[in-house]
Chains A and B, each alone.
Chain A
């Protein structure tokens, strides 16, 4: 059924459709409407799960640790400072191999206080062992919640569904809300054979030896790698059931393109407009949308690129003292190629500044016409 939904409500409906057992959450702008809607659904009896209104984000993830250990499908949502506050717990639940799903509604990090979007909050959780999937539309938000559970429960790692604060979270778009029966088919009830059972005296996360710890970490990485294939397969099944296909990376008009914009999140939708406009002007422009950040789709990228190609990576995030984070990941993934493409990094829209089609065209032209610095980040403030 088609509905006009804001991104946060699309997420909440996804959580309900997934028949999530336990939600534990704490309010923070711009995520709050997810939990407000789940609260309303809970109070009206439509939700069917249990909702714990905790006193902090740290406790939100701790409660998910408890519920997921018992084998319950668990969810939380947060943004920015809330995500940073959870950081310790992100490592913990990943190490505990719990398939928790969380929405992170991107919001820049303070100080100073800032409400609007950028990706530094989610990307600075890179090494926690969470999968991260970036969304470009409200439809993709709802669908990604379902995809995230499917992949997470297969590889037993937590997954973050990430989307832009306000740009998507508070913007209304038409969304096809899938039929519950089809969702149940795609996402059967979670059966975690490693779940805690009251009649089985076992310890969870007890101290291992260094050798055992090393092996556990290696196994985690193996399963993170496996998630790439699991995601692709889940994407195929999803398409069969719902008619929409999700892949790790998504090229747009790239067949004959020499210079390609590489974008994630909502600006990837804007970039289509920019590419269409550039094409009208006779430029051989293309777009590569990045959906997965962890696991990083390195092989898919190596298969995609050609020698002589120029990639203009647009980062609405920054690792101080180095570079945009997608750009760095891209460079490291392509380094092993004999003739890697040229990679240029652009920093745009930090703290929620607009990334307009005009700005994206300018980035494309700077790259295509050789004006971009390959060795350092190119700071692109939209003067309009």
Chain B
């Protein structure tokens, strides 16, 4: 049986990449490139994708990729765009492909600068919610209570996840979107749309990470879907300040269904789960008020 989808067939991600089994960030790249197509250049700071792209002289994607130091992705991309334009190339889409550490933490200054200048680039953060490439340390993207190598106590990570989307929204940029590879059609649509917009665009991809979240490598897509179905991760777009929720959920599944499938939340008590449910409920109250 052939299933017709809106997802373009051409593959710009080769099968010979170096990701772990079930890597959400690899699915994310695959769908992002399907949405973006050729005439795309990637700028990648230190993150899992530094490795996944392949050692020299190999490259696992069908577009050029410029590696850059950890803190510099948005600034390097700004320069690359200016350099291409100076060479007469106005068409090529410059895309930052950075992890949550390189976005929420060390790269935040350069990101803020580029957003403030409204550089004509697309910044993508694949958010696997910790420093996974260095072996699972807490980042500003780590959710509250999650276990990481640097939040090993009974409480897990004490601080709530940094609201990076709101930080970006405060920069008055034309487009912000959230996606996750469990919803590939939504992903491809948003990347296509982002490509057509001029100015600074930000897309955050929730990317399940089997070794970091401690789940079976076959559960990546299910977890990506559960994150949305439980409301733990909301799919939305903010266009010129106009907020729109992309999934209407008749009834959200209990957050516990999402948490219980991940080893990083194994230590949670019933009260902890209740507390996290309340946090998600409060977030949704805000989303629903806005759009």
Contacts and interface: CB of A to CB of B under 8 A. Distances in A.
A269 interface: no
A202 B113 CA distance: 28
A59 B40 CA distance: 22
A52 B79 contact: yes
Nearest to B14: A201
A198 interface: yes
B69 A64 contact: no
Interface size class of A (residues with CB under 8 A): 35 or more
Contacts of B92: 198
Interface residues of B, number: 48
Contacts of A200: 64
A206 B78 CA distance: 20
Interface in A41-91: 49-50, 52-56, 58-60, 62-72, 74, 88-89
Interface in A188-227: 195-209, 212
A212 B55 CA distance: 11
Contacts of A69: 66, 79-80, 83
A88 B75 contact: no
A201 to B, nearest CB: 5
B223 to A, nearest CB: 29
B64 A203 contact: yes
B53 interface: yes
A50 B82 contact: yes
A103 B74 CA distance: 23
A70 B41 CA distance: 11
Contacts, number: 169
A72 B71 contact: no
Given A65-B72, A206-B54, A52 B66 contact: no
A262 B116 CA distance: 48
Interface in B222-262: none
B243 to A, nearest CB: 27
B67 A205 contact: yes
Contacts of A315: none
B72 A72 contact: no
Given A21-B83, A195-B87, A201-B59, 5 more contacts: A54-B113, A70-B89, A198-B91, A203-B57, A205-B66
Interface of B: 38-41, 43, 50-51, 53-59, 61-69, 71-72, 74-87, 89, 91-92, 109-110, 112-113, 116-117
24 contacts: A21-B86, A22-B79, A50-B86, A54-B75, A55-B116, A56-B110, A56-B113, A58-B75, A59-B75, A63-B78, A66-B68, A66-B80, A69-B66, A196-B41, A196-B80, A198-B84, A203-B54, A203-B58, A203-B67, A204-B66, A206-B57, A206-B59, A206-B65, A206-B67
